[in-house]
Amino acid sequence: MNLNSIHNIYFIGIGGIGMSALARYFHANNKYIAGYDKTQTIITDALMALNIQIHFDDAVEKIDTKFLNTENTLVVYTPAVPKNHTELNYFKTHGFKVLKRSEVLGSITENTFCLAVAGTHGKTTTTSILGHLMYECGVELTAFLGGISENYNSNLILKGTEVSVVEADEFDRSFLTLSPDLACITSMDADHLDIYGEASELINSFEEFSKRIKPNGKLFIKNGLPLKGITYGIEDDSDYTIQNIKIENGTYVFDVKTPKTVLENLQFNLPGRHNLSNALIALAMAVEYGCPNQQLAKALASYKGVKRRFTYHIKTEDLVFIDDYAHHPEEINAVYQAVREMYPNKKVLAIFQPHLYSRTRDFIDDFAKSLSQFDEVVLLDIYPARELPIEGVTSNWLLAKINNKNKQLVSKTELLKTIHKSDAQIILTIGAGDIGEEVRHIKKELSIAS
C-alpha cells in the first residue's frame, strides 16, 4: 500500500490505545485524521486537542464529507468493532480501502528496521522500555506503544523513521502482518480463546510469528518456552540473565550477564519480578541492535513506566493507591507478587473488574485462585467490551469461587463508599475495562479522606 497517495484517514475505534497511536503518527505526518469511538475518554480528549474530529454516534451522516472520497481516503478499523457497525459496513460496501489496524502497522514498518515485542503478557511495558532505551541512545525511531508512556506522556515515540518498535499483538492473529528484524516472545499462556478455541492454536500462532522474522533476523525467547532462539531469564543459565538482585530504597539494583560481558549495578524503578524480566529483554534487544552499554544503563535508570501498569496515584506511609491493567490470572499473580515484595506486612484491598465474558468463563478457577490471595477483594460487574452476555457467566459466579471471607460484589456507584469502609493500607484497582475511568474519582476521594 502506498501511504503517500492517501490524504485522509478515518479511524473506526479511534480511542483504542493502538488505534490512537496510529492516529497520532499519521497526524504528525500531515494527514487529515478523523474518527468514531463508542465512548469519550481521556485518550479521545487528547486526540481532539490536536484538532482531530471525533464523534461518538455510529452514524454515517456524522462523518465529514472530505472522508467520503474513495480516491484518497483510507479507513482503518479495530477487530473489537462489531460486525454490524453501520459506518464500517458503509465503507466496506462503497468501494473504500478498508484495513485492520494491524495491516496498516505492517505497511508502515515493512521498510524499516523493525523490533517487535510479542507475548501474552508484558508487551506494553517491554515495548515502552525498549522504545525509551533506543530513544535515549539516539536511534532514529518510531515506537508504537500499547499504553501511555510516563516518560513521553504518549503512546507514540517519534524521533525518525529508520527504526520501528512495535507491539506484536496475538489477538486476532494481528502479529502475522509484521516482518521484524528482531523479535521477542515474553510468554505464551492461554488467552483469547474466543479467537483461538484451543490453547494449542495460540501456541501455533506464536510459532508462525517466529517464522515471520526476516532473513538474518533474531528471535529472543523467555527461557523455558518451546521455541528456539536467544534465551533470557532471571538468575538462570539463559544467554541474557539477571544476577545479584538487590532492592535499595524501592529500586532494583542488579547485574546482567550477556553473551559477551557483564553489565554491573544496573538500576530499574518498576517493582515486580515480571517487570525485571521485561527490562531484561528490552535491554537484550537494544544490546543486539548495537546501543552502547553505558548509555543503556543510564536510560534504564530513567525509565518511569506506563500509565495503568502498576501506576502509583497515592504513595504515603499510611496509604498507597495503585492502578494496574492486569486482566489475566497470571497478570494478577504478578501484581500480587510485586505488592507483597514492596509491602510485605500491609493489608491489601484489590478491586477487580473482569474483562470479557469469554475470558471470565475460560479462566474462572484461575481468576478465583489469583484473587483469593489478597486480604480483601471487591468485584465489579464484567466489562463486556466487544461481547454479548454469556448465560451464567457473571461476577457473582466468580465471587462464589473466591476463597476469601472478605469479598463482595459492588456497583460503581457504591465503590467509593466501599473503599471508605476498608482499613486496608494498600488499595489496588485492577482490570482492562473502564475501571481506569474510576481512578481519578478514587484518588480524589482518598486524598480528601487522608
Same domain, yes or no: 146 and 295:
yes
The three cell numbers locating residue 86: 453501520
| Model confidence band, residue 194 (pLDDT cutoffs 50, 70, 90) | low
Distance between CA atoms of residues 296 and 284, nearest Å: 10
Same domain, yes or no: 287 and 402:
no
Mark which of 74, 100, 126 sits at the end of a domain.
100
The number of distinct structural domains making up the chain is: 3
Same domain, yes or no: 436 and 335:
yes
Same domain, yes or no: 403 and 256:
no
Query: pLDDT (tens digit, 9 = 90+) per residue, 401-430?
Result: 999 999 999 999 999 999 999 999 999 999
159-to-30, 110, 136, 309 alpha-carbon distances in Å: 16, 18, 10, 24
Query: pLDDT (tens digit, 9 = 90+) per residue, 352-395?
Result: 999 999 999 999 999 999 999 999 999 999 999 878 899 999 99
Complete DSSP assignment for 270-327: --SHHHHHHHHHHHHHHHHHT--HHHHHHHHHT---BTTSSEEEEE-SS-EEEEE---
- Cβ contact 155:149 at 8 Å: yes
Q: Which of 336, 332, 383 is nearest to 360 (CA)?
A: 383
Instruction: Quote the pTM value.
Output: 0.82
Share the mean pLDDT of the chain.
Answer: 91
Residue ranges of E strands in 159-239: 163-168, 182-185, 218-222, 230-234
Q: What is the mean pLDDT of residues 432-447?
A: 89
- Cβ contact 139:291 at 8 Å: yes
Mark which of 301, 320, 347 sits at the end of a domain.
301
Domain contains 186: yes
Distance between CA atoms of residues 133 and 282, nearest Å: 8
Query: pLDDT (tens digit, 9 = 90+) per residue, 249-288?
Result: 778 999 999 999 999 999 999 888 889 999 999 999 999 9
Domain that holds residue 137: 110-301
Same domain, yes or no: 194 and 249:
yes
